[in-house]
């Protein structure tokens, strides 16, 4: 009995340490890792639940999240203790955090939920462009930002989940909601007729259901002609009308 | 108004939670934590007895929940360091985020050559070794994948306590230099890297038994027996 509880403890410690280094993990990858670390007979849901009990004291938890860009399902390790001034743990300097905040701000207020790398590098900042470029590269590698198209940046599942309280506090009225699930949306597909926006995952589900009768729930127009996968293209059309 | 009736135990529990969070958030940088900073930040209101109990429980929690060992270093100033306590049984990278995995690939050969060289290597000898591995060249100490080797070896690895870089008296006085610099294993390497595994790896490369390297083998046995008493 003693032996197995020790092994179990070490298994959870291994899982938690892995999450601390890779804070956003694809569901399939996580399932494989858990198969290696834990003995047979433990479902992913059980493992996550048990891990969250352990993590409760540390004010962190593992949550599932959908990526707006890939529609993939991920598990993310987030802080449950929202402190308005510290977006992320002490890994970044204050200057870097200021710059990251301004990138996030641009992403939240944009119509498309995307920002070009060029625009990022032209934002006001107290560091040189090379350092900024390296910082952005790190943010992508560490899964805080994602590249939906070359040279473009969007918020990852991890960022959206971890920063939810931050967004709620600072941007409440400015946030878009998905026309299907009514939850917050930053990056999605846009109806060029009425500007409605929807999660790619929500649209796929709705499209499968409606098939030929696929209409915008808001303006009723036939959406097969009106929907644009690339938010930039959609905005171009809207602005030219 | 907060109740004045919180018991000592409650206070210890609360401070332990805060301490664990403090160390975990510092761990992201993989560097050391000044004991005075930690005490000032978390334990300033507690008496000596409470402080000691909190540190003890923090060590326990860090080991149990995170598989991290809290080590005290005494280098003129008292430091804390978190080292990995988990067996690398799985092929899962635990210490190094994606963008620093390369540094681990750079570190292990360096630790190996220092160990096989008797525990220390002069700066010149190390550069010569790295040139043979084509990690640096005569003209450049910047590697395509690893980056600025000078900075990594003399700053990053030193701060992380993987290596020690110190001047020693130049007994040869060949270049009329009074001191030459040498690299040794740092405290973190001592705790995290298995000398036995390194020797096994080297033996495999040279296709011989690990006992072939008598000095190194003896050192491993000595360290193992002093550990297990």
- Can you give the three-state secondary structure of chain B, one letter per residue? CCCCCCCHHHHHHHHHHHHHHHHHHHHCCCCCEEHHHHHHHHCCCCCHHHHHHHHHHHHHHHHHHHCEEEEEEEECEEEEEEEECCCCCCCCCCCCCHHHHHHHHHHHHHHHHHHHCCCEEEHHHHHHHHHHCCCCCCCCCEECCCEEHHHHHHHHHHHCCCEEEEEEECCCCCCCCCEEEEEEECHHHHHHCCHHHHHHHHHHHHCCCHHHCHHHHHHHHHHHHHHHC
Q: Do A21 and B20 count as a contact with CB atoms less than 8 A apart?
A: no
Q: pLDDT tens digit string along A149-205? A: 999 999 999 999 999 988 998 898 889 999 999 999 999 998 888 889 999 999 989
A142 inside 8 A of chain B by CB: yes
- State residue B23 phi and psi, 5-degree precision: -65, -40
What is the rounded average pLDDT for all residues in chain A?
A: 87
Tokens of A202: 């929500």
> d(Cα B177, Cα B174) in Å, to the nearest integer?
7
Compute CA distances B22 → A81, B19, B47, B82, whole Å.
13, 5, 19, 12
Indicate if B98-193 has the same CATH topology as B2-90: yes
Fold of B2-90: Arc Repressor Mutant, subunit A (1.10.10)
Please determine, for residue A89, whether its predicted confidence score (pLDDT) is greater than 60: no
Looking at per-residue pLDDT, the higher value among B4 and A68 belongs to: A68
Tracing tokens 């298995």 back to the chain, one arrives at: B194
Q: Which residues of B touch A17 (CB under 8 A)?
A: 66-68, 84, 86, 94
Contacts of B76 (CB under 8 A, 6+ apart): none
Residue B214, pLDDT score: 87
What ipTM did this prediction achieve? 0.76
Looking at per-residue pLDDT, the higher value among A79 and A224 belongs to: A79
Mean pLDDT of A111-137: 93
Write down the pTM of the prediction.
0.81
Radius of gyration (Cα) for chain A, nearest Å? Answer: 20
Would you place residue A115 in the very low, low, confident or very high pLDDT band (cuts 50, 70, 90)?
Answer: very high
Distance from CA of B95 to the nearest CA of A (A): 7
Residue B93, pLDDT score: 58
Q: Do A10 and B86 count as a contact with CB atoms less than 8 A apart?
A: yes
Nearest residue to A56 via CA among A12, A101, A6: A12
> d(Cα A182, Cα A198) in Å, to the nearest integer?
9
Q: How many CB pairs under 8 A join A and B?
A: 72
Contacts of A116 (CB under 8 A, 6+ apart): A151, A152, A153
Q: Are B195 and B115 within 8 A, CB to CB?
A: yes
Residue A6, pLDDT score: 52
Find the closest chain B residue to A60 by CA distance.
B21
- State residue B160 phi and psi, 5-degree precision: -80, -5
B25 inside 8 A of chain A by CB: yes
Residue B173, pLDDT score: 64
Would you place residue A87 in the very low, low, confident or very high pLDDT band (cuts 50, 70, 90)?
Answer: very low
Report the share of chain A in percent with pLDDT over 90: 51
Find the closest chain A residue to B66 by CA distance.
A13
Nearest residue to A233 via CA among A145, A125, A111: A111
> d(Cα B161, Cα A136) in Å, to the nearest integer?
28
Please determine, for residue A53, whether its predicted confidence score (pLDDT) is greater than 70: yes
A237 inside 8 A of chain B by CB: no
Q: Which of B17, B64, B66 sits opposite A17 (nearest CB)?
A: B66
pLDDT, mean of each 10-residue run, chain B (229 residues): 66 91 79 88 88 94 92 89 76 58 84 93 94 89 86 90 88 72 92 87 87 88 78
Residue B174, pLDDT score: 66
Contacts of B65 (CB under 8 A, 6+ apart): A12, A13, A16, A54, A55, A58, B20
Q: Do A13 and B86 count as a contact with CB atoms less than 8 A apart?
A: yes
Q: Do A14 and B99 count as a contact with CB atoms less than 8 A apart?
A: no
Domain boundaries, given as residue ranges, for chain B: 2-90, 98-193
Residue B24, pLDDT score: 85
Tracing tokens 């403890």 back to the chain, one arrives at: A9
> d(Cα B112, Cα A67) in Å, to the nearest integer?
42
Q: Are A197 and A178 within 8 A, CB to CB?
A: yes
Residue A12, pLDDT score: 92
Q: Which residues of B touch A141 (CB under 8 A)?
A: 97-99
B98-193 sits in which CATH class? mainly alpha
């Amino acid at each position: 009995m003693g032996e197995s509880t020790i092994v179990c403890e070490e298994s959870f410690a291994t899982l938690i340490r892995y999450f601390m280094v890779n804070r956003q993990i694809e569901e399939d990858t996580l399932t494989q890792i858990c198969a290696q670390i834990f003995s047979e007979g433990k479902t992913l849901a059980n493992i996550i639940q048990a891990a969250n009990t352990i993590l409760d004291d540390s004010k962190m938890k593992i949550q599932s999240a959908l990526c707006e860009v890939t529609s993939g399902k991920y598990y993310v390790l987030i802080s449950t203790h929202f402190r308005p001034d510290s977006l992320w743990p002490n890994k970044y300097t204050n200057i870097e955090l200021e710059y990251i905040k301004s990138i996030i701000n641009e992403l939240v207020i944009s119509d498309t939920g995307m920002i070009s790398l060029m625009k990022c590098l032209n934002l006001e900042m107290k560091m040189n462009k090379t350092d900024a470029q390296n910082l952005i590269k790190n943010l992508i590698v560490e899964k805080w930002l994602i590249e939906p198209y070359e040279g473009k940046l969007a918020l990852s599942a991890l960022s959206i989940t971890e920063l939810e309280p931050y967004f709620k506090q600072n941007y409440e009225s400015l946030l878009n909601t998905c026309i299907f699930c009514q939850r917050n949306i930053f990056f999605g597909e846009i109806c060029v007729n009425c500007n409605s926006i929807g999660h790619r995952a929500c649209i796929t589900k709705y499209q499968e259901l409606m098939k030929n009768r696929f209409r915008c729930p808001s303006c009723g127009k036939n959406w097969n002609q009106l929907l644009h996968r690339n938010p930039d293209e959609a905005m171009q059309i809207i602005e030219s009308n | 108004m907060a109740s004045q009736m919180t018991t000592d135990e409650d206070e210890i529990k609360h401070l332990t939670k805060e301490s664990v969070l403090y160390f975990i958030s510092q761990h992201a940088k993989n560097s050391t934590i000044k004991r005075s900073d930690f005490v000032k930040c978390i334990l300033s209101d507690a008496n000596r007895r409470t402080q000691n109990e909190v540190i003890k429980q923090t060590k326990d929690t860090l080991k149990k929940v995170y598989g991290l060992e809290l080590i005290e270093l005494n280098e003129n100033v008292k430091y804390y360091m978190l080292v990995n306590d988990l067996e690398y049984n799985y092929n899962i990278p635990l210490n190094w985020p994606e963008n620093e995995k390369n540094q681990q690939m750079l570190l292990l050969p360096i630790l190996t050559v220092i160990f096989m060289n008797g525990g220390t290597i002069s700066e010149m000898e190390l550069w010569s070794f790295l040139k043979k591995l084509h990690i640096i060249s005569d003209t450049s100490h910047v590697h395509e994948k690893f980056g600025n080797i000078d900075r990594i070896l003399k700053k990053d690895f030193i701060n992380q306590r993987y290596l020690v870089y110190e001047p020693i008296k130049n007994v040869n006085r060949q270049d009329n230099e009074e001191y030459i610099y040498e690299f040794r294993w740092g405290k973190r390497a001592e705790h995290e890297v298995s000398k036995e595994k390194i020797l096994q790896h080297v033996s495999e490369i040279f296709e011989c038994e690990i006992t072939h390297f008598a000095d190194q083998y003896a050192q491993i046995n000595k360290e193992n027996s002093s550990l297990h008493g």
